[in-house]
Structure formats: C-alpha cells, structure tokens
Amino acid sequence: MLEIAQFGAGRIGQIHASNIAAMKDVRLRYVVDVNAEAAAKLAARYGAKVAAEREAFADRAVGAVLIASSTDTHARLAIDAARAGKAIFCEKPIDLSLEKVDACLREVKKARVPMFVGFNRRFDPSFRALKSRIDKGAIGAVEQVVITSRDPGLPPLEYLKVSGGQFRDMTIHDFDMARWLLGEEPVEVYAIGEALVDPKLKALGDIDSAMILLRTKSDKLCHINNSRRASYGYDQRIEVLGAKGMLRAGNKTPTTVERADAAAVASDKPLHFFLERYADAYRAELDAFVSALRRKQKMPVGAEDGRQALVLAEAALKSLQTGGPVRVR
Amino acid sequence: MIHFALFGAGRIGRMHAENLARRSDAKLLYVVDTKPAAAKALAVPLGARQADAATVFSDPQVQAVLIASSTGSHAELSIAAARAGKAIFCEKPVDLTMAKTELCIREVERAGVPMFVGFNRRFDPSFRALKARLDAGEIGRLEQVLITNRDPGLPDLRFLRTSGGLYLDFTIHDFDMARWLLGEEPVEVFAWGAVLVDKRVKTVGKDIDSAMLLLRTATGKMCHINNTRRAVYGYDQRIEVLGEKGMLRAENLAPTTVEQFGAAAACADNPWPNFQTRYAAAYAAEVGSFIQSVERREPAEVGPRDGRQVLVLAEAARESSRSGKPVKIKN
C-alpha cells in the first residue's frame, strides 16, 4: 500500500484526491492545506486525515507526496519532501523562477528521491497515441509540429497578477508538448504576443494572445498559438507533419451528437476546460507516477523536464521583450 | 462579351482557355506561345487562332489579354498590353523583381487599363465564404490567422533554381491570403526556412523546402503560415481564423466524401492531389470576376498593387530567413 500525503485541497487537488481514491493499493493518508476547512472537507471525503506539513513529512508511513498547492509553495514543499525521503509528484510549474527550480532540482538530486512533474497533456490518450505512432515511425521523420492551445476565457485579474505571465503559466504546457513531440531540444525561440482579448493586461505587463516559433538543431520547426479566450471552448489540438504523412489529434466533445436544421449542421463545442478535457490524462499521469515508483523506473516526466519547459518560457519572454529570436542552451 | 487573347499554352494556360470556352460572356480569339505548334493545338479545338504578340496587340477586336506564360515574361507582356489599351489578367507573380513589378504598375496606371493579378485562392468558394463571414462580423474582431499551405511533392529541382525561391514562388499565395484575411497590412515578418524534405533542394535547387512564418500587423493581429513542398497525403490547403466571438475554419476538400470502415481503421479520401483539381472552381471564378470588372469598368478585385505588396512580404521573408531576425515592413 502506497500512502500519499497531498498538499493542496483546491480545484486541482480535488481531482488528484479523487483519482488516488480510485486506485488500488494507494491510499490518501493526509491532506494539508492552509485552508483548514477545505482540507477537512477533502480528507473526510476520502477517509484521510488533516495534517500539518511537519506531521506529514515526519510520518514514515508516507511514501509519496502530491504537491497541488499554490505555485509559490511547490519548490519549498518539494525540497522538504526530498529531505524527508519522500517520492514527489509535483504539479506544474515547479516554480516561476529558474533559480528556485534549480535549487529544488539540486535538493531532489541530492536526496535521490524520484520526482514527477505534472505535465498532464503527455498522458491524454489521444496525444499519447499520436506520440507513440510518431515513435513507431508512422509518419517517418518529424518535420513540423503545430500546437493549438486556447483557453475558453480569461482568468480573474487577481490570478493573472501572480501567474508569472502567459508563457510561464499557460504556454509552459505547450513548451513541454513541443519538446516531447519534436523529440529533440529547441535551440531557438521566437515569440510575438499582444493583449488582444483585454487591453487591461498590458498594464500588468502580460499578454493574452501569442504566436511562437521553435526550431531544433536539426531544423525541425514548431508553431504554438495561444489565446486566453476562445469563445467556443478549450481548444487543444496537435498536428505533426513528417516525411511519410501527418498525424492530427483534434478536440474532444462531450457528445458526438450533430443537429442538422434549416440553418446549419451543428455539433458539440469542445469540452469546456482542462478539468473536463484532461480528466483521463490526470488519472493516467497518476497511474504512471505510481507505476514508475513501484517498478523503480525513471519517471516519465521528471524535474529536468519541468526545468526545460521553464527555460523555453523565459526565452519566449525575452524574445517578446527584445523583438528578436532567442537562442536556448 | 469580352474578346480575349491568351499568352502561354502550357498547363495553366490550357486551364484558363478551357474556362473561357465555358463562358458565355467571353470569347477566346488568339493563343500566343513561344512554341507556335502548342499554341495552335490549344487554339484550334476552342475555335481560336494561333498568333504572334504583335498581331494580338494591334487587333482592336482584342479587349483583354490573359497572361499565363512563363513568369519572366509577365511584366513585359503586361506593359505591352497596357500600351495597346488592353485589359490585363496576369498570372501571379507580376515579376520576381520589385523593379520590374513597379515599372509594370507605372505603365498600367498611366495607360489606365484594368489589371487583375491571379491570386486564385481568394476565389475558392470556401475561403471566399470564410472571408465574407469574417467581414459580416460573425466572429467579431479578428485576432489570429493560421494558414497551412503544403504542396504534395517536390517540383523539378532545376525549376527551383529559377523559381525565385520558396517565399517568392510558393509562400507568395499565403502572403496574399494573409493580407486579405487580416484586413490590414503586416508590419513585421519573421521566417524560418529549412531543408527537411530533400538535401538536393539546397545543393541543386539552391532553395529551401519547408518554412514557418509569423506576421504581425500594426494593431497586433497575428498570422502564422506553415509550408512544405512535400505532404505525401495531398495538397494541404487550410485556413483558420480566430476572433473575439469564435473561430472560422476552412478544411481541405477531397474528391469524394466516401469513408471506409474496416477492421484496421476508418479511412476517408486524401485531399485533392494538386492545385489544378483543388482550385478548379477558384480558377473559373477569378476570370469571372475579371470579366465583370472590365464590363462594369470597376477596379479589379486583385490588382497589381496587391501583386506588389506580396512581393514586399516575400522579400522581407527571404531577408528574415537569411538574417535570422524579424524584418519590418514599410507601408
């Protein structure tokens, strides 16, 4: 039985807790949250206990921690978990600053504990099938990747203020997908971005719309397009062109019902947002984490992946600020 | 009824000739080609005659010329047609050089003849409907445009050397689509080119075969173009525009809508294999638009200044690809 201490009882924490509860031989032992009421409510639902941080780390029965608290606590909690010898599942991003990410990675490496970073999209069944078909050579050598990633609506300004900006907060997922699909590291990033949805974001120094190009050493090309507001839903698509063909994964819809009437043929909009769209992916990533732990295998998405995605986000930000492409080491 | 003379009896010339033959408001009088036999073979079955350029320009019966000869002759023939007072339908591009393009525009404007440049994609029924719905405000203010333009296979490598390169020969269509859909001029172009399909494209063709580009307008609208010379599944022609109230997309068209469901997979037709098939309706419609503008004495829907503007963008892309930096456009 793997006993898990979970940090964070918010929206994403609730998803993870319910997924833990559904797994065999895994138990949610503790819920830790600064909001005692939320922690108590979530713990009660799954037969867990509310605990303080120190208590969770000190309990030798705890084999792994799941960090789903606010972003600014991820690195600190991951470091404490590493020092306590716990395996770590950490929500993305590890931190908004590369310095803190590197400090975290050092401690994790020193403690030799496994660390998984929650880039959930790699575990979406469609994206995963697409990737495995690339790897099997279904389209030959990869030449171009196009990633469409659009949120259904602007988050609250209060959130945006502490989000780290669009590239670190939102595009970070796409940078991870780009690395994963390209199969090699991007060496150069060019980004353009604007506050087209809400000009108020300009005052925050942020953007809500962006187009990005990435290039790898062997000249594979990747395009990412982002918007914080696609009125028709959460738009999540991938397209990969190779020497022998193209692979595409489109949006998922709640149902496949189509209505044809005098005006048009209409079908469902894409699933509304990440909790719905990536429900399968959240389940599968936790499975992958637990399975790698049990088999003592390398984590399929590790701390180093979390770092590389942030390196690309920072390069994109620098490109946006300087107006030119930025080389990535 | 507009009386035409056609220059160029090659692949694209034949298509235009056949489109003219199907129309009740047009009549093809002459076909001119550097190979008179080819001109004759095309002209005679359509009830036209083979002729030389001088005959065409001096015949007052000829009201319009359709220039579908090799690219290097477009500007020269357009200038001669303008001086002879003929309306001009010219295949894209007007010329590969800015100097000759501008000279041509000056002569055409001085002569006051209408000139249409054959950016056929604007006349594709799907792209046209998309544009009309964009203009009607269906998705509100436009924010992003994505253009996918992929050829089915590499052309002759020797052709590449004289083609002007990917941006001038191929992406030029996308630059026109980008300007048309964005509804404002790009102010900056960034382009990455690559040789991914075949190394000989570089060694023999002195060109690239793959590219990704970003364009930006003064109000911050963004556009992405992706190109390859070889998409094994067919001629891939798609457009997607994102606006504040939604998205409009135009997907590929296929010869049939038949789907086969088997034990291994569900399969549908590949997209049309080439531009002749994919844009058959567009080629037929563009000449219709030209004829209508001549008859009504209205400006051509796509004129030589559009032809010039895409050349500016193509040259900027070439410069960006060379320098690795974005290039500003002076409008």
Average pLDDT of the residues in A251-267: 94
Residues in A closer than 8 angstroms to B244, CB to CB, are 197, 229, 231
What's the confidence (pLDDT) of residue B140? Answer: 97
How many Å apart are CA B147 and CA B240, to the nearest integer? 7
What is the model's pLDDT at position A143?
98
Residue A186 maps to which CATH number? 3.30.360.10
Which of A113, A145, A161 is the endpoint of a domain?
Answer: A113
Q: How many angstroms separate the CA atoms of B196 and B191, rounded?
A: 15
Of residues B211, B236, B324, nearest to A325 (C-beta): B324
Identity at B34, one-letter amino acid code? T
Together in a domain, A81 and A198: no
Q: Which residues contact B176 (CB under 8 A, 6 or more apart)?
A: B92, B119, B121, B122, B302, B306, B310
Q: Which of A39, A74, A2, A21 lies closest to A283, judged by CA?
A: A21
| Chain A residues touching B188 at Cβ < 8 A | 192
Tell me which residue in B146, B214, B230 faces A213 most closely, judged by beta carbons: B214
pLDDT the model gives residue B176: 98
Which residues of B make CB contacts under 8 Å with A? Answer: 141, 143-144, 146, 148, 150, 188, 190, 192, 194-197, 210-212, 214, 216, 220-224, 226, 228, 230-233, 236, 242, 244-247, 324-326
pLDDT digits (tens, 9 = 90+) for A118-157: 999 999 999 999 999 999 999 999 999 999 999 999 999 9
Instruction: Assess contact for B209 and B198: CB atoms under 8 A.
Output: yes
Kindly indicate the confidence band of residue A262, based on its pLDDT and cuts at 50, 70 and 90.
very high
The tens digit of pLDDT for each residue in A22-76 reads 999 999 999 999 999 999 999 999 999 999 999 999 999 999 999 999 999 999 9
Last residue of a domain, one of A113, A136, A169: A113
Same domain, A146 and A225: yes
Contact between B216 and A325 using a beta-carbon 8 Å cutoff = no
Which of A148, A231, A323 lies nearest to residue B326, judging by beta carbons?
A323
Q: Looking at residue B330, what is its pLDDT?
A: 86
Chain A CB contacts of B247 under 8 Å are 230, 232, 235
CATH of the domain at A88: 3.40.50.720
Number of domains in chain A: 2
My answer on whether A209 and A262 are in the same domain is yes
* A192 chain-B contacts, CB cut-off 8 A: 188, 190, 214, 216, 222
CATH match for B2-113 among 3.30.565.10, 3.40.50.720, 3.30.300.20, 3.40.50.2000: 3.40.50.720
Answer whether B76's CB lies under 8 Å from B50's CB: no
CB contact under 8 A, A229 and B244: yes
Nearest CA to CA, how far is B21 from chain A (Å)?
Answer: 36
CATH no. of B122-278+304-328:
3.30.360.10
Q: Please give the mean pLDDT across all residues of chain A.
A: 96
User: Does residue A283 lie within any of the structural domains?
Assistant: no
List the one residue out of A71, A268, A271 whose CA is nearest residue A170.
Answer: A71
- Spell out the residues 6+ positions from residue A166 whose beta carbon is closer than 8 angstroms to its own: A193, A206, A207, A208, A210, A226, A228
User: Would you call B226 and A231 a contact, using CB atoms and an 8 Å cutoff?
Assistant: no
What's the 3-state SS for chain B?
CEEEEEECCCHHHHHHHHHHHCCCCEEEEEEECCCHHHHHHHHHHHCCEECCHHHHHHCCCCCEEEECCCHHHHHHHHHHHHHCCCEEEEECCCCCCHHHHHHHHHHHHHHCCCEEEECHHHHCHHHHHHHHHHHCCCCCCEEEEEEEEECCCCCCHHHHHHCCCHHHHCCHHHHHHHHHHHCCCEEEEEEEEECCCCCHHHHCCCCCCEEEEEEEECCCCEEEEEEECCCCCCCEEEEEEEECCEEEEECCCCCCCCEEECCCCEEECCCCCCHHHHCHHHHHHHHHHHHHHHHCCCCCCCCHHHHHHHHHHHHHHHHHHHHCCCEECCC
> What burial class does residue B246 get, using C-beta atoms within 10 Å of its C-beta: 0-12 exposed, 13-18 middle, 19+ buried?
middle
Domain boundary at A93, A113, A133, which?
A: A113
Residue A228 distance to chain B (closest CA, Å): 11
**Residue extent(s) of CATH 3.30.360.10 domains in chain B:** 122-278+304-328
Q: How far is B231 from chain A (nearest CA, A)?
A: 6
The pLDDT of residue A329 is: 83
With contacts defined as CB-CB under 8 Å, which chain B residues touch A213? 190, 192, 212, 214
- Tens of each residue's pLDDT in chain B, 331 residues: 999 999 999 999 999 999 999 999 999 999 999 999 999 999 999 999 999 999 999 999 999 999 999 999 999 999 999 999 999 999 999 999 999 999 999 999 999 999 999 999 999 999 999 999 999 999 999 999 999 999 999 999 989 998 999 999 999 999 999 999 999 999 999 999 999 999 999 999 999 999 999 999 999 999 999 999 999 999 999 999 999 999 999 999 999 999 999 999 999 999 999 999 999 999 999 999 999 999 999 999 999 999 999 999 999 999 999 999 999 998 7
Pairing of strands B266-268, B49-50: unpaired
Residue A232 lies in a domain: yes
Give the gap in angstroms from C-alpha A263 to the nearest C-alpha of chain B. 14
How far B36 CA sits from the closest chain A CA (Å)?
41
Residues A203, A223: Cα–Cα separation, whole Å: 27
> Which chain A positions have a beta carbon within 8 Å of B224's beta carbon?
211, 223, 225
C-alpha distances in Å from residue B63, one per residue of A24, A180, B8, B107, B210: 82, 59, 17, 17, 41
Containing structural domain, residue A167:
122-278+300-327
From the list B144, B230, B232, the residue facing A209 with the nearest CB is: B144
Is residue A49 domain-shared with residue A148, that is, in the same domain?
no
pLDDT value of position B331: 75
Q: Is the peptide bond before A93 cis (omega within 30 degrees of 0)?
A: yes
